[in-house]
Amino acid sequence: MAKIINGTEVAASVIDQVKSSASALQADTGVQTGLAVVIVGSDPASQAYVGSKSKMAKECGFKSVQHSLPEETTQQELLALVAELNADPTIHGILVQLPLPKHLDSEPVIQSILPEKDVDGLHVVNAGKLATGDIETGLISCTPAGSLILVRTIHGEDLSGLNAVVIGRSNLFGKPMGQLLLSRNATVTMAHSRTKDLAGVCARADILVAAVGRPEMVRGDWVKPGATVIDVGINRVPAPEKGDGKFKLVGDCDFLSCEAVAGAISPVPRGVGPMTIAMLMANTVIAAYRMAGKPVPKF
> Which runs of E-coded beta strand occur in the chain?
3-4, 34-40, 63-69, 93-96, 163-167, 187-191, 207-210, 228-231, 235-238, 247-250, 264-265
Which residues of the chain are in CATH 3.40.50.10860 domains?
A: 3-7+25-115+275-291
The hierarchical CATH code for the domain 142-268 is 3.40.50.720
pLDDT at 242 (0 to 100): 87
Which residues of the chain are in CATH 3.40.50.720 domains?
A: 142-268
> For 116-172, what is each residue's pLDDT tens digit?
999 999 999 999 999 999 999 999 999 999 999 999 999 999 999 999 999 999 999
pTM: 0.95
Average pLDDT over residues 111-119: 98
DSSP-based three-state secondary structure for 66: strand
> For 68-107, what is each residue's pLDDT tens digit?
999 999 999 999 999 999 999 999 999 999 999 999 999 9
> For 222-239, what is each residue's pLDDT tens digit?
999 999 999 999 999 998
Three-class secondary structure assignment of 156-212: CCCCCCCEEEEECCCCCCHHHHHHHHHHCCCEEEEECCCCCCHHHHHCCCCEEEECC
Q: How far apart are CA 269 and CA 6, in angstroms?
A: 10
Judge whether 131 and 139 are in contact, CB under 8 Å: no
Q: How far apart are CA 282 and CA 9, in angstroms?
A: 16
Q: How far apart are CA 152 and CA 31, in angstroms?
A: 31
Helix axis angle, 272-291 relative to 7-29, nearest 10°?
10
First-to-last C-alpha distance (Å) of the chain: 29
- The radius of gyration computed from the CA coordinates of the chain, to the nearest angstrom, equals 19
Judge whether 218 and 258 are in contact, CB under 8 Å: yes
| pLDDT band, very low/low/confident/very high, at 245 (cuts 50, 70, 90) | confident
Q: Which CATH number fits domain 3-7+25-115+275-291: 3.30.43.10, 3.40.50.720, 3.40.50.2000, 3.40.50.10860?
A: 3.40.50.10860
pLDDT at 140 (0 to 100): 97
Task: State the catalytic residues.
Answer: 53, 97, 120
Judge whether 212 and 190 are in contact, CB under 8 Å: no
